[in-house]
Amino acid sequence: MSTPTIPEQGEQKTSDAPSPRQPDGRPEQQAPPSGLAVLARSPKVLAVLVAVLVVVVSAAVGGSGVWPQGWTIDIRTPLNDLDGWLVDNREKSPIFLYFLLHISNSAESSVDAIISLFDAMGWIGVTVVGTLVGWAAGGSDLSRRALRTGGTTLGVFIACGVLNMWAPTMETLALMTVAVFAAAVLGLLLGLGAGLSDRFEKILRPVFDTMQVMPAFAYLLPLLLMFGVGVPSALIATVIYAAPPMARLTSLGLRSADPAALEASASLGASHWQRLWTARLPLARKQMMLGLNQAIMMCLSMVVLASLIGSEGLGDEIYQALGSLDVGTALTAGVAVVLIAVLLDRTTAAAGERLDATVTVGATRLMARIRMAVWGLVLALIGVFSAVGSSIGEREWPDVWTVDVTRPLQSAVDWLTETIGSGIPVLGGTVVWAKGFTVYVLNPLRSGLETTPWWALALLVGVIGWIVGTWRAALTGVICLGLIGMMGLWEKSMDTFSQVIGGLVLTMVIGIVLGILTARVERVERMLRPVLDTMQTMPQFVYLIPVIALVGLSRSAGIIAAVIYACPAVIRITAQGLRYVDPAAMEASRSLGATSRQQLLGVQLPLARKSLLVGVNQGVVLVLSMVVIAGLIGGGALGYDVVQGLSKGDLSQGLPAGIAIVCLGIMLDRITQPAGERPRD
């Protein structure tokens, strides 16, 4: 019968303060034990140290580290020629006549057709049919899910009407319908190909990887030149943007299907087609539904952004309103966008849930019939309403039933920006803070990056890429840097780079702190969730202008916008990573009497390292895409070049900047992406 002896209270006090972190690095697992292990990991640490040293020394000694003039190539001339050719041949060249213009025309006419269908049905018809579709997606019964989905749909339609956003909402919905359909079909086909053929997958993968890091902003310009300003360009940009997740998830679903089920199907003598139809596709259904959901969300965000190149609807409403600094109207339209996002998300989620739900006992045959009947009813109603809709009600939501919230919103935003901007006693306000941030963080960072010789930077990128990922990642990163230099955009890219780093640091600090709080305090999570949802779906344009009131027309404005944009994702990933830490390890630590702090620092954070890295990676991509849009509000550098190219239709200025952004994105993605990891799948 032994009793506890050693760790008595008295002794404890004399012992050191708890040091929850291990001093030695966190190396790869394969390392053999003892001294060898230390050796095996030290070269990497050493390499980083050397690279950093080289960078610092060379920056201090060299003075200016710009890419040598002689190594740049002139890409402006060929691009100008291409620009000229495009202008001259837009109506003559066979590639336009027989291919591109078909796409453009059918895009335009299908959107027009849907808009006129909505018009013909009138607002009553659209609302009724929409609600019915929502209800049907939820299961068309009296279950809570079906009623909730239908109710959400009804509520969103009414809210959009009341907010006096009916017409633009319908335009956006029409664009969405076409875009989602096209993106889903394209994604499905590509996904099927990639899921079934290894070679196809091998070709597609790098394309998709690039698409993921490519800010949509970067490819608006080529589309603009090919299709001109208008709906087709916007639609095509949207489809290009939204198809990859669908394809990715379809392929993933096909590839990750339970091998036992496939084996069973094969053992029953199924032919390949039978296997595809009866086993592989049904097993991939859930992933495909997820892909569809993602595609829809991306479509929505892009349909708004594409107002820059002539898309109609809510995005245009926002863009126009900002022209006269009418933040109230922009915000109202933004709210409508958020509402549509809620509607589409809930509907697809409900439909997806239904795939999972086990079939309720009995009455399934009846239910199936009822469902068929409901869909039939939907079709019939569309027909009926489009025939008589305009006679039973107005085409648009009646004006009498609208509430003007733009003024109160405007004054609320004005008050808020003024108070936070400079009205905080003692602490000053964001204007002062932003100045400090620019002077003490951004400026030194930028001049540091600009004085660092290009080869030292390439070395650093290579080393980091090699350590975090693979030598291939390192090589890709260095090549990207090289391309940037060769295009003669070194200085501007470094400017953008410094903004990305600044934004990333802020994003990570805020994101991780809030992520930890979210994961650990349930109240915070409940409060934060709707805020995050709104932040993720609210079009970025809406807060671009108020941000200027907060910090002035400066790089900080862009960075703040980027932080607002990127934080939700980082918060989510952090919280999820922390929450899904092996529960056994957590319980073990609790059972040993660890305090919350000890649990967090000793178990949760180290075990969630992978997802934290994923968070960094995601943060990089999002911050970059927003820092580029910040070209609109004083971000300068590459973003401004793209904006300039877009608004002047100048290929030779916009395209190289766009490519440089993509290069920067790929480089940052590779050096923050742990080896063997494919996040975001």
> CB-wise, 568 or 631, nearer to other proteins?
631
Closest among 201, 178, 196 to 295, alpha carbons compared? 178
Tell me the C-alpha distance between 430 and 437, whole Å: 10
Residue 230 or 482: which CB sits closer to other proteins? 230
- DSSP state, residue 218: G
The answer to whether 132 and 377 are in contact (CB under 8 A) is yes
Cα separations (Å) of 166 from 102, 340, 462, 485?
30, 12, 52, 48
Least distance to other proteins, CB of residue 8, Å:
8
The least distance separating other proteins from the CB of residue 430, rounded to whole angstroms, comes to: 11
* Short-list 125, 124, 133, CA closest to 378: 133
> Would you say 11 or 366 has its CB closer to other proteins?
11
Question: Based on C-alpha coordinates, what's the Rg of the chain?
Answer: 28
The number of beta carbons lying within 10 Å of the beta carbon of residue 510 is: 16
The Cα 619–Cα 625 span in angstroms is 10
Closest to other proteins by CB, 11 vs 356, is 11
As measured in angstroms, the least distance from the Cβ of 551 to other proteins is: 9
We find the least distance from the C-beta atom of residue 668 to other proteins, in angstroms, to be 22
Least distance to other proteins from the beta carbon of 502, Å?
13
Phi-psi category of 680—alpha, beta or left, where left has phi over 0 and alpha has psi -120 to 50?
left
Residue 552 CA to residue 556 CA, distance in Å, equals 8
Query: Among residues 33 and 425, whose Cβ is nearest to other proteins?
Result: 33
Q: With 0-12 CB in 10 A as exposed, 13-18 as middle and 19+ as buried, what is 174?
A: buried
| Residue number with CB closer to other proteins (102 or 678) | 102
- Closest separation in Å from C-beta 131 to other proteins: 30
What's the closest the beta carbon of residue 6 comes to other proteins, in angstroms?
A: 6
| Strand partners of residue 428 | 424
Nearer to other proteins, 161 or 639 (CB): 639
Residue 105: C-alpha distances to residues 74, 100, 220, 235 (Å): 35, 9, 18, 11
Residue 65's SS3 state is coil
> Hey, what are 235's tokens?
């639609």
CB of 629 to other proteins, least distance (A): 9
Residue 119 or residue 650: which is nearer to other proteins going by CB? 650
Residue 598: CB minimum distance to other proteins, A: 5
Nearer to other proteins, 148 or 435 (CB): 435
Other C-beta atoms within 10 Å of 116: how many? 12
Of 26 and 526, which CB lies nearer to other proteins in the complex structure?
26
Comparison of 200 and 208: residue with beta carbon closer to other proteins? 200
Residue 339 or 632: the one with the smaller Cβ distance to other proteins is 632
CA dihedral 467, 472, 476, 479 (to 10 degrees): 100
**What is the sign, positive or negative, of the torsion defined by CA atoms of 295, 297, 300, 303?**
negative
Q: Report the alpha-carbon distance of residue 472 to residue 354 in Å, rounded.
A: 42
Helix (H, G, I), strand (E, B) or coil at 502: helix
154 vs 186, which CB is nearer to other proteins?
A: 186
Rounded to 5 degrees, what are φ and ψ at 428?
A: 95, -85
Least Cβ distance, residue 512 to other proteins (angstroms):
18
Contacts of 95 (CB under 8 A, 6+ apart): none
Q: Taking Cα atoms as reference points, which of 456, 448, 440, 500 lies closest to residue 660?
A: 500
Q: Minimum CB separation from other proteins for residue 330, in Å?
A: 10
Nearest to 603 by CA among 581, 621, 580, 623: 581
Sequence-distant (6+) residues with CB within 8 A of 612 are 512, 573, 574, 577, 605
Choose between 367 and 412: whose C-beta lies nearer to other proteins: 412
Inter-residue contact 624 to 609 (CB < 8 Å)? no
Q: How far is the CB of 478 from other proteins (least distance, A)?
A: 30
CA distance 532 to 543: 15
The sign of the torsion formed by the CA atoms of 194, 200, 202, 204 equals negative
In the complex, least distance from residue 97 CB atom to other proteins, rounded to whole angstroms:
4
Q: How far is the CB of 369 from other proteins (least distance, A)?
A: 31
Please state the closest distance from residue 494 (CB atom) to other proteins, in A.
16
Nearer to other proteins, 476 or 496 (CB): 496
HSE of 448, CA atoms in CB hemisphere, 13 A: 16
Cβ closest to other proteins, residue 460 vs residue 548: 548
CA angle 642, 647, 652 (to 5 degrees): 50
Supply the minimum distance, in Å, between the C-beta of residue 533 and other proteins.
26
**Sign of dihedral through CA atoms 292, 294, 297, 300?**
negative
